[in-house]
Amino acid sequence: MPQPGSATVRSHVRIPLTFPDGYRADAEVSTFHGLADGAEHLALALGTVPAGGTPLVRLHSECLTGDVFGSDRCDCGPQLRESVERISEAGGYLLYLRQEGRGIGLYNKLDAYALQDSGLDTYDANTALGLPEDGRDYTAAAQMLTALGVDEVDLLSNNPDKAAQLAGLGITVRRRVPTGVHLSASNVRYLTAKVERTGHSIELSRLVG
């Protein structure tokens, strides 16, 4: 995979975060110039990386329904909340990437939900719309990390494709750290499809037991 061009940090600003359960964290939010896809991605610096340590990093794709409205059709909102706390404790970055619906956009994602209601899984619903199963490209994420001076990470993710793409883009993934299992009656088919179709590191026994 070709290495991405350079990006630069555009600005930093402190934002105190408060989640619905009362958890609080301080984030230094960075914006960027020169990202490959031209989108307004953000990097949230959380906690302090110990001297000589490797930052804990999550690539979190934007999910309006899950992150903002608390939808139970996915696990995105709980993963975001978990990630902020774990990264705050370990020191690192949460990259908030504007990749709604695994890169297909909000309206298409909602159209895919309608197809899922008729029996398709999350991946087949995308392809039934003529869209990729997962259209995300992490070139901009690698650019962001490089601009922040990060070339090695512990990646907080269940998704092997994120680690593979980052490695191909010149970021060393020292290890992949799975998130918790955020199960609801509404997302069990979605999580099961992630395991069976794309090898996500989620314990199936927690989903079907």
Annotated active-site positions, please? 134, 136
The sheet that has 24-33: what strands, in order across it?
8-18, 24-33, 42-46, 92-97, 56-61, 152-156, 172-177
Percentages of the chain per state (helix, strand, coil), in multiples of 5: 35, 25, 40
- On whether the CB atoms of residues 87 and 81 are closer than 8 A, the answer is no
Residue 44 C-alpha from the chain's centroid = 12
